[in-house]
Every structure is written in structure tokens, then in C-alpha cells.
Amino acid sequence: AQSVTQPDIHITVSEGASLELRCNYSYGATPYLFWYVQSPGQGLQLLLKYFSGDTLVQGIKGFEAEFKRSQSSFNLRKPSVHWSDAAEYFCAVGANPPRGNDMRFGAGTRLTVKP
């Protein structure tokens, strides 16, 4: 079964600085890959997903992620972080094509934004 690892439990960046959150997956082929954001007290919201084609994916709120097959990675980036980006971020992997519900989530990375 597929799995996903988020190596960083907590990251702190200054407002206006760039951001990169790491995600590594385990899967035998090209999977579906997702990034979700969870603001305090809220449910998860999809930022972006990848399943084929262009390896650089644009998402909402100015986020992007790059699929690198050779590194089994799908890192999330943002060029300039805003205070409102403080949240928890989850990477997830799913089989491709989809089967049942086999999405697996990483443990999450908590982002703190310093003024």
C-alpha cells in the first residue's frame, strides 16, 4: 500500500519569506498526490493535486507543488508567506487509478508565521 512521509513536524517562517514543505511518498507508479490545508478549528481544504501531466501544479492561495518522480517527492512551495497561511498542512497519496478509498495522509506539518 502507498504511504507518505512529511519529515518536518513544525516549521516557522517570517512573513514575506518563501516557504517549502516537504513530502515524500511510497508508491510503485505515478500516484495521485494532494496537499491539504487545515486552519485552526476547521476541516481540511484541498490546495492542489497532481495525477499526470505537467509536474509543476498550481493551486489556490498562491501555492504550487512539484512532482519529482526520481526523488519520490511532492514538495509544496509559496514564494511569499502571509500571516494567514499559518495552519497545518497535510500531504496525501492515492492509488492511480483510484481504488475504493485508498488515500493515505501524512502526519502533517504545522506552519507558524512570524510577523
Partner 1 sequence: NAGVTQTPKFQVLKTGQSMTLQCAQDMNHEYMSWYRQDPGMGLRLIHYSVGAGITDQGEVPNGYNVSRSTTEDFPLRLLSAAPSQTSVYFCASSDTGLAYSSYNEQFFGPGTRLTVL
Q: Which residues contact partner 1 by CB under 8 A?
A: 9, 32, 34, 41-46, 49, 51-52, 90, 92, 94, 98, 100-101, 103-108
Nearer to partner 1, 49 or 77 (CB): 49
Nearer to partner 1, 4 or 113 (CB): 4
* Amino acid (1-letter code) at residue 50: Y
Strand pairing category for 64-68 and 32-38: unpaired
Instruction: Quote the least distance from Cβ 2 to partner 1, whole Å.
Output: 12
Instruction: Quote the least distance from Cβ 103 to partner 1, whole Å.
Output: 6
Report whether 25 contacts 32 (CB < 8 A).
no
Nearer to partner 1, 34 or 67 (CB): 34
Nearer to partner 1, 65 or 106 (CB): 106
Residue found under cell 507543488: 65
Long-range contact pairs involving 47-50 (C-beta distance under 8 Å, separation at least 24): 47/76, 47/89, 48/76, 50/74
Q: Report angle CA 55, 6, 86 to the nearest 5 degrees.
A: 90
Instruction: Quote the least distance from Cβ 73 to partner 1, whole Å.
Output: 17
